[in-house]
Chain A
């Protein structure tokens, strides 16, 4: 672990009734990083963060958060962590303002400011049961941010939010990033991970498949491009261009698949041949496409990499 390490996990294993959910998982998160744990349902994301919070006892491995053991030092550690849990609730009749007062450990915990920032100030007197799904998520975020936590764990943060509310929450996470707060973001929304995370850890069936910045993952697992355009002339020269893997033609539309360099190569091929087709389109993979490619290739890679590339 680096000196500024906030999370250090080595060889984490957790099984429920013989079903292994997390297997030999390593994870490092450095101070000030926003790290995304991504993977499909059942990938072991939530179990991993529950172990970090001391809510689950690991079967094997070492877990340290802010230098403390989440099991042994739970009472010391929990006030330093702000957490938004995937499936949790508050008492139905508890009002928003009361929840903030109940969860704030010290006076002046920025409760009012946070309620304002997340648009909940007008709902201060509303009962939890009367809040919409989005309002509940925003309230959980407010509660997670009370008392300036050193690590914020956000599990499926924007689940059930409409696009506007999701943007609002993303802005809040970016604000956290600017203030240097360390954030561990658990999500299966890849657009969210791409938008918010400095680094992404990809899990499948409890193992780390790969880790890196979103751009690195796209470069590693989605380094291809597709160029499409209408063309009535011959396409013989296209297949010989560097980086081209496949050229197809259908209903007058030519599709060129290949490495990213085909974008420039096809452009250079088109220019001397007259007017550039007006419907010229280029498709490059985003994080989602890259990760689908990674998951397709996963059996060969499982366990091959570890999430220890923390920024120091």
Chain B
């Protein structure tokens, strides 16, 4: 379950900002969805969803290996979020499984990476 927290993304968010301070806030308590906001630019808000709620077998350990430069502790809990694209209806709302954001829950540092896995969709439709 997501809790409201502040964390760093040392590499920023590609294409959007080089800001490194972010917050994650559940859409409502207990929700799989959470708002990702850049503290330097509060207008920069994105909807994210917990990867495990989209796909229970999401390759979390692959994400962990790709985040070596964050120097996570071996037993550090890792939170994996996926960015949602939610345009006005009737365009489909989708989620990007290819480029997750991995967040170390102990160091509170995160980064967006790209997974090279043909089983992961870049635009998986979301219900609703």
Q: Do A and B bind each other?
A: no
